[in-house]
């Protein structure tokens, strides 16, 4: 039957000529779809005499099977070549350098806080926190600065409206109120009663009414506090020698303790590190000048007692340091105000990569 063989040839030609899956589907529809050529042959069977239908039906079915097999085979070839083409076009060269992504930097203050944490952490200190908005008692009275004490004038305080119960409130003028807060902590008191010790650093924000090239109304301090039954001035000196030399990365850094006054320590000292100036540039290390970097002392018995510790049993050391100041000194940053201007160019210049952050 020429009709059958023509349909066969045309169908198989269309299948092998299909260049992609879309063309193959069009070929399938032309043969096996509702109006397809083979479907048309099927439709003629109904009108045939039984004998003829049997014979012709078998041939049409055979042809249908043959075309379906050809469609399937071509589909397999086309899909694998489509996949191969996709793989080739999407090939990634893993040896190409990565596209640089816009990356932020760590602010020098955050960097220095991490460094402080790492150095004091190695000496067994943990990190404590306290509120920026503080009550007058924790900020002053607990630390042996009673309401009429002249030392209150050493700190230009931002006073806030009192709480509903009348408690006078301030923006904390130093991190020292966290000394009182940790000493009053019940778990800490139990640990001390059991013969243990308290060792904390408190890096954080502090506030005073002040604004010039070396002062900003918001600045940062770190407090250090050790309380136990035996810690003395010798430990304070050892701890600060180790800290200063590690922080400034100068092994033989000269360090000087000068007697001073703070209401919450007795004796009290200010600590200077050696430095020199050459062509207007500061060099930290042995030299002919000194830079003051912190205040410290033995915790005053009255501060100890105010915070629930019997000064006949417990004693300790306290340290207070300006973080912004030591960051400026270590990293040669000239103007304090630029720290808080949020100028991206400044941050890109003085900021630190996150990967460098911990020593
Ligand atoms: N709180 C003091 C201030 O801001 C700094 C200070 C000095 C803290 C001596 C201390 C200390 O813990 O022992 O001026």
Residue with tokens 């923006």: 171
Burial (0-12, 13-18, 19+ Cβ within 10 Å), 332: exposed
> Do 186 and 71 fall into the same domain?
no
Same domain for 74 and 123, yes or no, is no
Is the shortest distance between the CB of 295 and ligand 1 below 6 Å?
Answer: yes
Nearest CA to ligand 1 atom 5: 320
The residue to mutate among 262, 270, 292, having the most atoms of ligand 1 within 8 angstroms of its beta carbon, is 262
For the stretch 208-243, pLDDT in tens is: 998 887 889 999 999 999 999 999 999 999 999 999
Q: Are 207 and 330 contained in the same domain?
A: yes
In this structure, the answer to whether residues 230 and 198 fall within a common structural domain is: yes
- Out of 24-38, 100-114, 289-303, give the one with best mean pLDDT: 289-303
Distance 61 CA to ligand 1 centre (A): 99
Contact 171, 132 (CB under 8 A): yes
Same domain, 129 and 18: no
Same domain, 143 and 49: no
Note whether 66 and 132 are same-domain residues.
no
Decide if 103 is inside a domain.
no
- Look up tokens 């996949």; give the residue: 83
Tokens of 1: 């039957």
Q: Length of the chain in residues, anyone?
A: 359
For residues 125 and 199, what is the distance between their CA atoms, to the nearest angstrom? 5
Q: Is the pLDDT confidence value at 154 over 90?
A: no
Quick one: 128 and 202 in the same domain? yes
Percent of the chain exceeding pLDDT 70 equals: 98
Q: What is the Å distance from ligand 1's center to 296 Cα?
A: 6
Write down the pTM of the prediction.
Answer: 0.73
* Close Cβ partners of 68 (under 8 Å, ≥ 6 residues apart): 32
38 and 11 in contact (C-beta within 8 Å)? yes
- E strand map for the chain: 126-127, 133-135, 159-160, 169-171, 198-207, 218-228, 255-262, 265-278, 281-284, 289-299, 315-322
Contact 136, 159 (CB under 8 A): no
**Full residue range of the structural domain in which residue 220 is found:** 108-356
Angle, alpha carbons 100-104-108 (nearest 5°): 135
Name the closest-CA residue to atom 6, ligand 1. 320
In a domain, 101, yes or no: no
Here the CATH number for the domain that contains residue 269 is 3.30.930.10
Residue 170 inside a domain? The answer is yes
Residue 187 domain flag = yes
User: Which tens digit of pLDDT belongs to each residue from 155-191?
Assistant: 899 999 999 999 999 999 999 999 999 999 999 999 9
Specify the number of domains making up the chain: 2
Indicate if 49 and 149 belong to the same structural domain.
no
What's the CA angle centered on 156, arms 152 and 158, to 5 degrees?
Answer: 105
- Protein residue whose Cα sits closest to atom 4 of ligand 1: 174
Same domain, 25 and 69: yes
Determine the residue of 320, 321, 323, 325 to mutate for testing ligand 1's pocket, defined as the one with the most ligand atoms within 8 A of the Cβ atom.
320
Encoding tokens for residue 74?
A: 């071509």
Would 201 be classed as within a structural domain? yes
Asked if residue 125 and residue 63 are part of one domain, the reply reads no
Kindly state whether residue 173 falls inside one of the protein's structural domains. Answer: yes
**Residue environment code for 85-124, b if the CB has 16+ CB neighbours within 10 A, otherwise e:** eeeeeeeeeeeeeeeeeeeebbbbbbbbbbbbbebbeeee
62-91, pLDDT tens digit by residue?
999 999 999 999 999 999 988 998 988 998
Q: What angle do CA 225, 228, 233 make, to 5 degrees?
A: 65
> Could you tell me if 113 and 262 lie in one domain?
yes
Is 99 inside any structural domain?
no
CA distances from 301 to 17, 151, 194, 250 (A): 99, 17, 20, 35
Backbone dihedral angles phi then psi of residue 111, each to the nearest 5 degrees: -60, -45
Residue 205 located in a structural domain? yes
């Amino acid at each position: 039957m020429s009709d059958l063989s023509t349909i066969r040839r045309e169908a198989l030609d269309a299948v092998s000529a299909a260049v992609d899956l879309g063309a193959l589907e069009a070929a399938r529809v032309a043969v096996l779809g509702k109006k397809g050529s083979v479907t048309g042959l099927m439709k003629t069977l109904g009108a045939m005499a039984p004998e003829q239908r049997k014979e012709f039906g078998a041939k049409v079915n055979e042809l249908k099977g043959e075309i379906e097999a050809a469609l399937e085979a071509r589909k397999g070839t086309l899909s694998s070549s489509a996949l191969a083409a996709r793989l080739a076009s999407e090939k990634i060269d893993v040896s190409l350098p990565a596209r640089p992504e816009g990356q932020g930097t760590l602010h020098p203050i955050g960097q220095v806080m991490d460094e402080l944490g790492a150095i004091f952490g190695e000496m067994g200190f943990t990190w404590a926190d306290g509120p920026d908005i503080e009550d007058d008692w924790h900020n002053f009275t607990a630390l042996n600065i009673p309401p009429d004490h002249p030392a209150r004038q050493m700190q230009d305080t931002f006073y806030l409206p009192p709480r509903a119960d009348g408690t006078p409130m301030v923006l904390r003028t130093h991190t020292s109120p966290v000394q009182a807060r940790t000493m009053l902590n019940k778990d800490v008191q139990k640990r001390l009663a059991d013969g243990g010790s308290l060792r904390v650093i408190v890096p954080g924000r502090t506030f005073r009414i002040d604004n010039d090239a070396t002062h900003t109304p918001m600045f940062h301090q770190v407090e250090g506090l050790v309380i136990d039954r035996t810690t003395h001035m010798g430990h304070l000196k050892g701890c600060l020698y180790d800290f200063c030399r590690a922080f400034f990365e100068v092994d033989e850094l000269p360090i000087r303790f000068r007697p001073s006054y703070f209401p919450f320590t007795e004796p009290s000292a200010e600590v200077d590190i050696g430095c020199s100036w050459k062509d207007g540039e500061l060099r930290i290390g042995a030299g002919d000048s000194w830079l003051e970097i912190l205040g410290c002392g033995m915790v005053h018995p009255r501060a100890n007692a105010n915070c629930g510790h019997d000064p006949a049993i417990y004693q300790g050391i306290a340290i207070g340091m300006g973080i912004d100041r030591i960051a400026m000194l270590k990293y040669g940053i000239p103007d304090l105000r630029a720290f808080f201007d949020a100028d991206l160019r400044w941050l890109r210049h003085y900021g630190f990569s996150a990967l460098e952050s911990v020593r």
